[in-house]
Amino acid sequence: MKKTYPKAVYLNGEWMESEKASVSVFDRGFLFGDGVYEVIPVYEGKFFLLEEHLDRLKYGLNETRIGFEVSAVENVLKTAVEKAELTHRDGTVYMQVTRGIAPRSHFFPADAEPTILIYASPLVMKGFENKLVKVLISEDFRWHRCDIKSTSLMANVGLNNDAYSQGFYENVLQRDGLFTEGSHTSVFFVKDNIVYTHPKGHHILPGITRKAVIELCEELGIEVREKALHIDDTAHVDEVFIAGTTVQITAVGEMMMDGVLKFRKEGAGTITKKLQQQFIKRTGSL
């Protein structure tokens, strides 16, 4: 589905047509990318893991010292779903909080009021289990607080564009030879029926879908090890998949680094398929 602008957005307490929405040129989100955000999935009009997404947003606000009470706009999220006509459809709700408007300075202003943006958009969520994607492997040169879902995404979008411009679906990143995550996804490897993924910490975002995958593994009796694999391990793994709010659980068919094929598989592996089916059951029973 081609992405389009939403019909309506919530900006600082007011619903308005998206083309009429504007923020100050002195908003720190515009000047510095000084803000945090969240993308919440909606299946047939129902939120998936809403509390987990809001908890992550609260964590980001706390870590960046942006004073905003998330509970004040929880009802707005439901209104966003209605205004986007998603009550019986799939989609996402986007929520962004910046530090607000203040004269430009590198230190945090004492009296700025946060700028709040919320809107919903339709998104095709079904069919992810039928995809098989190719990914690029690149150096992870991002900052050391990737656990904060910050709007400062220049490195991420640049890395994702590098992959996209070369015909790849995602850019899977490595730091000192160890896989961290994708430019906008979590990455998982399967070897001898054991699922591996990078442990939580400052070098990865604590993905909500990542957390769901680990829970699904426990439900299915699949062993999970939160351990970073080395780029050389791709020669020995049996399956690779990526996970995230919009990609859900998508199988990886090829991994390429510096023009060298590092991994290839003709279809989703057995473990990946089991997790995909369990994920479909879980999102279908909200």
Residues with active-site annotation? 149
Q: For the chain, what's the residue count?
A: 286
Q: What tokens appear for 269 in the block?
A: 């592996």
Radius of gyration (Cα) for the chain, nearest Å?
19
Between CA 55 and CA 263 the distance in angstroms is: 36
Other CB atoms within 10 A of residue 9 CB: 21
- CA–CA distance from 35 to each of 29, 98, 139, 241 (Å)? 6, 4, 25, 30
Closest by CA to 191, choosing from 219, 218, 229, is: 229
DSSP, res 192: T
Torsion angle defined by CA atoms of residues 18, 3, 42 and 114, in that order, rounded to the nearest 10 degrees? -40
Between CA 250 and CA 95 the distance in angstroms is: 24
Q: Is 130 left (phi over 0), alpha (psi -120 to 50) or beta?
A: alpha
